[in-house]
A and B are shown apart, each in its own frame.
Chain A
Amino acid sequence: MKKSLNILLVEDDMIEIMKFNRTISKLACPHNIVEAKNGEEALNILYKNESLPDIILLDLNMPKINGLEFLTIIRKNNDLKYIPTIILTSSNDHKDVSDCHQLGIAGYLVKPLKFTDYSESIKRVLDYWCYNEFVTA
């Protein structure tokens, strides 16, 4: 059954957050979004919160704890390692792609240049996850 998602969006760029929210606001399904400005903030949210997000959308290039470091940390944490994490980045660098896949990710999305293309990819990704069952604490 299709359901709304709890999403943790880890992204430092204000306009990227606006892009995401604008996309979400036009969807029929009301998702619950929590925003974190970098890996450190995201970890604090995960450590504090009893209810974990269904999925994490993760930017790679961020201040303090970057995407790869964040991914490395949560993959080693027994409570957090199950959370499907989808990379959302403008880097299609081969090393980034292979590093992420090696650590374990649920998707790697290279942000398209045009907003309409971006919106479409986000919609499709979220639509897919809407039909999934998640590990519940």
Chain B
Amino acid sequence: MYQKKQLLQKLKNQNEQLNDYAHLVSHDLKSSLRSLSALLTWVKEDCSEKIGEESVGNLNLMEEKIEKMDKFLEDIINYSEIGVTGLKTSTIDLNKKVDKILDSIDIPKNIKVVVKDKLPVLKADARRLRQVFQNLISNAVNFNDKEEGLVEVAVNEVEDFYVFSIKDNGSGIPLEYHEKIFEIFTTLGYHEKSTGIGLPMAKRIIELYGGKIWLESEVLKGTTFYFTLPKNKANEA
């Protein structure tokens, strides 16, 4: 019993150390990216005429890469924190939460996002829950290839679970990728904002609450992501 306790404490310390380490590294890398980005801007400001159009184009490409790296670091740090830092619990009105998320993501004019059902009020970690909805909704929006894109958010109650669904009419996901996309760093599209961490992050959070995530998809026609959150567990956690 005593040994088990010691082992747990040791693991906990190691986890904390790893988390600190990830923070430190990502902080240093992010600082360097900020410097690079500023220097690039200045070169463009000060000598765009001297270096010519093509070189300015290359500098712009460098800037895009820097932006992507920054997003990547942000995602990695968020992902690595899940399960290491404790969950905070607060009461969340998902209707308001989802509205807020929709305000915060760039939705092109040709894509409509509809919340079909009245969503429940849950007790959970607000930040983590936002990450789940945000990642799934922004995937549905970003990868939509239709002229009139439609994304629908809905919920069903099945016994002790809420089953949420996020349905899109995008390009669909071939069956062989249905499991692979939940692995870290796997991306199917070449969207500038995708880092391959969104879905693994959603999965990790949902599983932390004892839920499941899966998808149904028809190639060219669209995809529906489903995930469950237990009513009771979400209340207690």
Point out the residue from A16, A91, A115, A118 that lies within 8 Å of B42, measured CB to CB: A115
User: B-side binding surface: helix, strand, loop or mixed?
Assistant: helix
Output the nearest chain B residue to A18 by Cβ-Cβ distance.
B38
Q: Mark A103-118, 1 if CB is under 8 A from B, else 0.
A: 0000000010111101
* Least CB distance, A54 to chain B, in whole angstroms: 26
* Cβ contacts under 8 Å, B70 to chain A: 113
Within the assembled complex, what's the spacing in Å between the Cα atoms of A18 and B34? 12
Which of B6-14, B25-33, B98-106 touches A? B25-33
Once the chains bind, are A16 and B35 in contact (CB under 8 Å)?
yes
Chain A window 84-99, contacts with chain B (Cβ cutoff 8 Å), 1 for yes, 0 for no: 0000001101100000
CA of A114 to CA of B66, assembled, Å: 10
B23 at the interface (CB under 8 A from A): yes
Of A15, A113, A116, A118, the residue contacting B39 (CB under 8 A) is: A15
Instruction: Please list 24 pairs of residues, one from A and one from B, whose beta carbons are closer than 8 Å in the complex, sorted by A's number.
Output: A13-B31, A15-B34, A15-B38, A15-B39, A16-B31, A16-B34, A18-B38, A19-B38, A61-B27, A61-B28, A90-B30, A90-B34, A91-B23, A93-B23, A93-B27, A94-B85, A111-B34, A113-B34, A113-B70, A115-B37, A115-B41, A115-B42, A116-B41, A118-B34
Known: A18-B38, A116-B41. 15 other contacts (CB 8 A): A13-B31, A15-B35, A15-B38, A16-B31, A22-B42, A61-B27, A61-B31, A90-B27, A90-B30, A90-B34, A111-B34, A113-B37, A114-B37, A115-B41, A118-B38
